[in-house]
Amino acid sequence: MKASRLHSPWTPWLFLAPFLLSFAVFFAWPAVRSLMLAFEQTYGPKTTAFVGLTNLRFLAHDPFLWTAVGNTVVFALAAVLLQIPAALGLALLLNRSDLRGRRFFRLVFFSPSIVGLAFVAIMFSFMLEKRTGLVNGSLHQLFPAWNPDFPWLERYVMPSLVLAQLWISAGFYMVYLLAALQNVPGELLDAANIDGAGPWQRFWHVTLPEIRPVLNIILLLVVTGSFQLFDLPYLLYNDTSGSGPDNHALTVVTYLFQTGFRSGDLGYASAIGWMLTLVLVGFALVQRRLAQRNET
Amino acid sequence: MRALLKLFSPGLWLVLLMAVASTVLVALLPVRPSRGMQMWVFDANHFKIATTIAAGWNREHPDTPVEVKQVTGAAIQTRMLSAFYSGTPVADLIEVERSMIGQVFAGPVADIGFVDLTERLDREGLRSQINEPSFSPWTSRGHVFGLPHDVHPVMLAYRADLVEAAGIDMSKIETWDDYFRVLRPLMVDLDGDGRPDRYLLNSSPNTLFYHEVLLLQSGGRLFDESNHPTLNQPRNAHIIAQLATWYTGPNQVAAEAPVGGISSLQLIRQGYVIGMLAPDWFAGFIRLSFPDMAGKFKFRPLPAWEKGGRRTSVLGGTMLGITKASRNQEAAWAFAKRLYLSADSAKLLYEVDGIVTPIKANWHLPFFDRPDPFFCNLPMGRMFLQLAPDVPVRPSSPYYVLTQQLLSSVVIRLCQYADEHHTWTAAGLEPEAQRLLDEAQAKVEAQINRNTFLRDAR
């Protein structure tokens, strides 16, 4: 009797209910509501006006948005081209069996990713400050001709952000790649060695194909993380609400935040959010298709 | 019971138990009921003044006491906007800094979360008692939403020790041109690297505030009376071109020790910048930050852009607003008047914060004439008050911060243009300044035109 009650047709739904309820409340309804909001102008959620396609039309010509998109794409490209090779380089270094103090170096390389982002932003501000900053101070000491007022944070906004992000993330992705490298079968490398393959050929034809699935995941994480960049520029360029000098640090999510939560226009912010979602979903699909093609 | 226990694993039961226990614990936590009215302030000195005045008020009004809380500016902004947008709990009275107020004015007038004070001010004859320009940042579409806290006239603070040691007589300086010409010998290379280690004015292309201060002083402006952007008016282009020659090229005279920045105190102490654009609150900042440097700073009216021109500007500002959510609006209004209009509060404001009151009836009070030993016995209060009526009017547009950022972008780009084209004269830079300002104007207008709620007002 008890068993039959537990196996009634409602039982699976009972177990699914917590997930379905939380999914509906915290994901499905907000998603539907934000889609509706994209066609409204708001002054907070209470005061709204239906504006049809106006938000979407404005998106196409909004110079701030396109500046933000440009900055975000540059950041994402720099992140892919620097973070992944740097992480791979560190992982290859730590994977060497003849390296002494591997655990120590693993901790050293990984430690930036456990440091709080606010701390990183303050640290980079201290380092790159005009006149009193560590970088300008050291360069001026070493090369007296160096201008101690060199404006790193103002003139090299994107490189500053990329450098700070590289410092935080390289060690984090290194851990993934180190795990992948340690799973590369030794017999494959030995066989390649016996066949006369050099270190570069072994890496290119054996190691790289073996760690490609992990690289694909990292690529996805780096790109989606880059497109969601917000906190680092917000902290580093706090006086301009994250926009930076001449909007050089303005990212899509920073602009979304400024529009939605500073100007109160949740409608336009939703339109920006949906655009970002479509771009990221598109990228994920393309990346998955390419990964599948490589595997076949 | 046993069957029920076996339904989930012990781990899951533990998680459930913890969830239930923590929920019950949170539900049972005592909530201190708020007594009377609440007031939020963002500044430690404002808090000190408000608590002093509130103590007297609370003795006389035990039924409607005021509890003052100091909350950081960012938290006030977030909680205030959340309350206005969605009806979350909020204080009865809020002190709002100028950079926070624009967003409050972005919606329909009827939906603004502060009580409209226009009629009260007129009925009680208060409008004429308060310095008129001090109302402008808190007025939207003809309605006043806050009682002004200050005037914030700007003077020039300078390193008197360095200037006088060089035998320079500041009293002969009338215009900015005079200032830079006369003080130029102070731009010396102290460490032998061939670059100056002193600059004559604390400002740079990246600053968000000082361009506007100088623009307003010159008669330029970012918005007109009806909050229409006027970023690209020719006067602005003329001034911006002049500023670019201060910031870059062979005649660079300005550099920044960003106030509030990591290195500003060290740079100001070292004399990296000789002169600073200094509102009354900045005098308090100097006194607090450099207590050992008494007698080394002096203040004087700003050099004018042209002979006979305006000798002051304005920087910063705070208002006190009563929220519509307040259940004690009349008591809140009475307390607001006590806090901002009384002679006691004017004295406290000046003594604690160095700020002069916008209440004209209090300008005669003798403490404003007292010589200030920290600033070489200058009668600081009187000096600022003499400039108060000349303070320029400022906008309350929701697009003010955006426009300020765009102005900074224009100056940055103009400096880049100057360096790329080796054009370092104001006349040579003016056409490019105008072009950049036209671009910026179009951007602001596009954003403003998109706002359905402001369309009716237009």
**Tokens matching residue A108:** 């050293």
Residue B356, CA distances (Å) to A161, A247, B122, B368 in order: 42, 36, 23, 8
A-chain CB neighbours of B255 within 8 Å are: 149
**Residue A30: inside a domain:** no
Q: Is residue B22 part of a domain?
A: no
**Residue A36 located in a structural domain:** no
Which chain B positions have a beta carbon within 8 Å of A5's beta carbon?
none
Shortest CB distance from A246 goes to which of B263, B401, B413?
B413
Are the beta carbons of B92 and B332 closer than 8 angstroms? yes
Residue A166: the pLDDT is 94
Cβ neighbours of B85 in A, within 8 Å: 43-47, 264
- Both B137 and B57 in a single domain? yes
Dist CA B317 CA B204 (whole Å): 22
In a domain, B13, yes or no: no
Identify each DSSP E strand in B253-355 by its residue range.
254-255, 273-279, 297-301, 318-322
Residue of B105, B204, B206 for testing the chain A interface, max A β-carbons within 10 Å: B206
User: Which of the residue ranges A255-259, A283-287, B261-265, B438-442 would you say has the lowest mean pLDDT?
Assistant: B261-265
Closest residue in B to A248 (Cα–Cα): B409
Q: Considering the domain boundaries, does residue A138 fall inside one?
A: yes
The confidence band for B320, taking pLDDT boundaries of 50, 70 and 90, is very high
Residues B185 and B334 occupy one common structural domain = no
- A160 in Cβ contact with A121 (< 8 Å): no
Cα B105 from Cα B457, distance rounded (Å):
12
Q: What ipTM was estimated for this complex?
A: 0.82
- Distance from CA of residue B125 to its chain's centroid? 27
Q: Is residue A49 assigned to a domain?
A: no
| Chain B interface, best mutation among A40, A54, A262, A266, by max B CB count within 10 A | A262
Which residue does chain A place closest to B205, by CA atoms? A245
> Nearest residue on chain B to A58, judged by CA atoms?
B450
Cβ contact, residue pair B85, A240, below 8 Å: no
Residue A15 CA: distances (Å) to CA of B8, B12, B89, B166, B356:
11, 13, 37, 84, 67
Burial of A185 (0-12, 13-18, 19+ CB in 10 A): exposed
* Position B97 pLDDT exceeds 90: yes
- CATH code, B175: 3.40.190.10
Residue A15 lies in a domain: no
A97 secondary structure, DSSP code: T
Range of the domain at A74: 62-295
- The residue among B367, B374, B316, B327 whose CA lies nearest residue B157 is B374
φ, ψ at A42 (rounded to 5°): -130, 155
Same-domain pairing of B109 and B229: no
Distance from CA of A182 to the nearest CA of B (A): 33
CB spacing of A263 vs B446 below 8 angstroms: no
Report residue B180 as tokens.
Answer: 């830079």
Question: Which chain B residue's Cα is nearest to A260?
Answer: B103
Q: Which residues of B touch A2 (CB under 8 A)?
A: 3
B269 and B186 within one domain? yes
Could you read off the pLDDT of B134-180 as tens digits, one per residue?
999 999 999 999 999 999 999 999 999 999 999 999 998 999 999 99
Collapsing DSSP to helix, strand or coil, A221 comes out as helix
Inspect the interface and report whether the beta carbons of A46 and B111 lie closer than 8 Å: yes
Q: How many domains does chain A have?
A: 1
| Chain B residues with CB-CB distance to A47 below 8 A | 85, 107-108, 111, 453
Look at residue B23 and tell me whether its pLDDT is greater than 70. Answer: yes
Q: Are A235 and A81 contacting, i.e. CB atoms less than 8 angstroms apart?
A: no
Mean pLDDT, range B219-231, rounded to an integer: 91
Q: Is residue B2 part of a domain?
A: no
Flag the least confident range among B22-36, B61-75, B379-393: B22-36
Whether the CB-CB separation of B155 and B384 falls below 8 Å is answered with yes
Pair (B69, B176) in one structural domain: no
Q: Specify whether the CB–CB gap between B350 and B314 falls below 8 A.
A: no
Check the CA dihedral B33-B36-B37-B38 and report its sign: negative
Residues of chain A neighbouring B205 (CB-CB closer than 8 A): 154, 245
Predicted local confidence at residue A132, as pLDDT: 84
DSSP state of B43: S
Cα B352 from Cα B344, distance rounded (Å)? 12
Examine the pLDDT at B50 and tell me if it is beyond 90.
yes
Residue ending a domain, choose from B345, B373, B401: B373
CA–CA separation, A79 and A75 (whole Å)? 6
Pair type for strands B199-202 and B318-322: unpaired
We report the CATH number of the domain holding residue A75 as 1.10.3720.10
Q: Tell me how far apart the alpha carbons of residues B158 and B297 are, in angstroms, rounded to a whole number.
A: 6
Chain B residues near residue A264 by CB distance under 8 angstroms: 81, 85, 103, 106-107
A121-to-A160, A284, B181, B299, B434 alpha-carbon distances in Å = 10, 29, 40, 36, 36
Chain A closest CA to B139's CA: distance in Å? Answer: 18
Instruction: Please report whether residue B413 resides in a domain.
Output: yes
Would you give the end-to-end CA distance of chain B in angstroms? 71
Q: Helices A102-110 and A157-182 meet at what angle, rounded to 10? A: 140
Residue B16 lies inside a defined structural domain of this protein: no
pLDDT per position as a tens digit, A236-278: 998 888 899 999 999 999 999 988 887 778 899 999 999 999 9
Question: How far is residue B212's CA from residue B408's CA, in Å, rounded to a whole number?
Answer: 9
Mean pLDDT of B85-111: 91
Tally of CB atoms within 10 A around B402: 22
Tell me, yes or no, whether B128 and B66 share the same domain: yes
Q: How far apart are CA A88 and CA A76, in angstroms?
A: 17
State the count of interchain CB pairs (< 8 A) between A and B. Answer: 99
Chain B CB contacts of A54 below 8 Å: 450
Task: Kindly determine whether residue A132 and residue B266, on different chains, have CB atoms separated by under 8 Å.
Answer: yes
The Cα of A263 is separated from the nearest Cα of chain B by a number of Å equal to 5
Which of B38, B20, B13, B157 lies closest to B94 in space, CA to CA? B38
The two beta strands, B297-301 and B154-159, are: antiparallel
Q: Is A51 inside a domain boundary?
A: no
- Residue of B108, B192, B261 lying closest to A47 (CB–CB): B108
Residue B15 included in any domain: no
Taking the C-alpha atoms of residue B345 and residue B359, their distance in angstroms, rounded to an integer, is 11
As a whole number, the mean pLDDT across chain B is 93
User: So what's the pLDDT on residue B184?
Assistant: 95
For the four alpha carbons of B94, B100, B102 and B106, in that order, the dihedral sign comes to negative
Q: Residue B208 is nearest to which of A44, A45, A240, comparing CB atoms? A: A240
Low-confidence ranges of chain A (pLDDT < 70): 1-6, 295-296
Range of the domain at B348: 37-148+316-373
Is A12 within a domain? no
Q: Are B364 and B310 part of one and the same domain?
A: no
* Residues of chain B contacting residue A126, judged by C-beta atoms under 8 Å apart: 262
Cβ(B262)–Cβ(A129) below 8 Å: yes
Contact assignment for A140 to B195 by CB distance below 8 Å: no
Number of domains in chain B: 2
